[in-house]
């Protein structure tokens, strides 16, 4: 599975699950025809956009998608920078402005979804980023009542 296929699969899972609200999707080709493509503006002027942003229950998931786990390190740092520079309240405020969705009392979780665990990178990973090994975890979606149930199960694991 390449990054484009992973991206489309997660987009469809989020879009088709009534327990999930798709807030933003950055298609690999950069063309967001099917969902908003939210870009966060940092105080430094830098703009960052997670690959997929979804609301499940009272949790907003900011997700980055990669084929190889080793390729995700820079994205973990990007997610950490986003949270450090903006803080959760400002992230939610910018999401509310760009999507029109009220996100009061929502928590934010950061995640990396990767297809292949090509090497042990635990010592380089950002502690607050949840790692989802898609090849191993994808089968759980049917048993967890869809994508929303799967995301909820990850919260309980933490």
Number of domains in the chain: 1
CATH number, position 123:
3.40.1350
Classify residue 145 as left (phi > 0), alpha (psi -120 to 50) or beta: left
| Model pTM above 0.85 | yes
Give the pLDDT confidence score for residue 118 in this predicted structure: 85
Distances (CA, A) of 51 to 47, 112, 145: 13, 10, 23
Task: Provide the domain limits for residue 102.
Answer: 3-157
Over the stretch 63-73, which tens digit does the pLDDT of each residue have?
999 999 888 88
Over the stretch 35-49, which tens digit does the pLDDT of each residue have?
677 889 999 889 999
Taking alpha carbons only, the member of 45, 9, 47, 43 closest to residue 25 is 9
pLDDT band at 75 (very low <50, low <70, confident <90, very high): very high
């Amino acid at each position: 599975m390449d990054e484009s296929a992973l991206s489309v699969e997660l987009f469809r899972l989020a879009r088709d699950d009534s327990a999930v609200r798709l807030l933003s999707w950055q298609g690999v080709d950069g063309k967001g025809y099917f969902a908003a493509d939210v870009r966060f503006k940092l105080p430094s002027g830098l703009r960052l956009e997670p690959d997929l942003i979804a609301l499940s229950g009272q949790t907003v998931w900011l997700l980055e998608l990669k084929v190889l786990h080793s390729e995700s390190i820079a994205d973990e740092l990007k997610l950490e920078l986003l949270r450090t520079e903006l803080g959760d309240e400002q992230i939610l405020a910018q999401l509310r402005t760009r999507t029109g969705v009220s996100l009061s009392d929502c928590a934010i979780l950061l995640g990396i979804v990767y297809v292949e665990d090509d090497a042990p990178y635990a010592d380089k990973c950002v502690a607050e980023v949840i790692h989802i090994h898609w090849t191993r975890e994808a089968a759980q979606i049917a048993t967890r009542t869809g994508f929303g149930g799967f995301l909820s199960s990850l919260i309980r694991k933490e």
